[in-house]
Amino acid sequence: MTALRPILLGAGLIEEIKWGKPCYSHDGANIVILQEMKDFLSLMFFKGALLKDPAGVLKEQGPNTRHARRIEFTSVDDVARLAGTVEAYIEEAVVVEEAGLELGPAPELILADELKARLDRDPKLKAAFESLTPGRQREYNLFISGAKQATTREARIDKYTKAILSGKGLRDQ
């Protein structure tokens, strides 16, 4: 992490701690965040899907992530070897942000049957769910629909109803 920090600060990014991790921004917009994983250090670009990636080093965060892409580092040698690439990608990410580029609209969210039924029965819950950010709505839906049994899906809805009514995401405290 300490090997990447001078590269990020040298690119003119502002360092802050967000979500308990070092996050780097430009004019108030998040550009990258450092994430320590078990086997590697991740430099995640918030709008990485919009970067060209000529070096072929950007990886998807997971199957349900639309925007973010990451570079993985397993050693300080990786950081040294990819320093020029990181600098170029940061420069491109800043250009993407300044240009206001965005991915196209997200595909329509198809709610789990149990969640849809509960929202239809509970207008307060429906209003609270619809006021959540699209990402939080998607996160709840993925979590709920990921259960194999209907009883588990119902239990997950029950467990998180209070959080939804409070405007919190699945992982918010």
CB 64 within 8 A of CB 138: yes
| pLDDT tens figures, 41-98 | 999 999 999 999 999 999 998 877 889 999 999 999 999 999 999 999 999 999 999 9
pLDDT at 1 over 80: no
| pLDDT tens figures, 113-169 | 999 999 999 999 999 999 999 889 999 999 999 999 999 999 999 999 999 999 999
Terminal C-alpha separation, the chain? 26
Could you tell me the residue ranges of all domains in the chain?
5-98, 113-165
- Nearest 5°: phi and psi at 32? -140, 160
Buried b (16+ CB within 10 A) or exposed e, 6-17: ebbeebebeeee
Nearest Cα to 71, choosing from 35, 110, 105? Answer: 35
Sheet of 69-73: strands edge to edge? Answer: 14-18, 21-26, 29-36, 41-45, 69-73, 59-60
The DSSP output letter for 117 is H
**72 three-class SS:** strand
pLDDT at 173 over 80: no
Q: What does CATH list as the number for 5-98?
A: 3.90.1150
The DSSP output letter for 24 is E
